[in-house]
């Protein structure tokens, strides 16, 4: 329920994606009563996710800078 609220996707889509992640060993699933708790499979996965987030963030920041430069050039050329 928490994941559904956080990412706003259809329950069936989330279930399918979590099943893929579980089968590939990226997450583990533990049943606690009627709730299934998903966790990253280990430190290596968490480290990989942090690295991916850092790289993608740097890429987006770079693109924001480029976009700002292009907008400035467009305004200057008018």
Dump pLDDT digits (tens) for 1-45: 788 888 888 999 999 999 999 999 999 999 999 989 999 988 888
Cβ-proximal residues to 3 (8 Å cutoff; 6+ apart), any chain:
14, 18, 38
pLDDT at 14: 93
Domain boundaries, the chain: 1-41, 42-78
Mean pLDDT, residues 36-62: 89
As a CATH number, domain 1-41 is 1.10.10.10
> Residue 46: helix, strand or coil by DSSP?
helix
Q: Which residues pair with 35 in a beta bridge?
A: 32
Cα 36-7-27 angle, rounded to 5 deg: 40
Beta bridge partner(s), residue 31: 36
68 — pLDDT class (breaks 50, 70, 90): confident
Report the pLDDT value the prediction gives residue 38, as an integer from 0 to 100: 93
Instruction: Please say whether the beta carbons of 38 and 29 come within 8 A.
Output: yes
């Amino acid at each position: 329920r928490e994941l559904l609220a956080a990412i706003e996707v259809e329950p069936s889509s989330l279930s399918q994606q979590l099943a893929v992640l579980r089968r590939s060993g990226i997450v583990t699933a533990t049943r606690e009563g009627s709730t299934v708790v998903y966790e990253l499979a280990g430190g290596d996965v968490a480290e990989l996710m942090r690295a991916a987030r850092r790289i993608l963030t740097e890429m987006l920041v770079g693109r924001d800078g480029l976009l700002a430069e292009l907008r400035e050039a467009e305004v200057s050329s008018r």
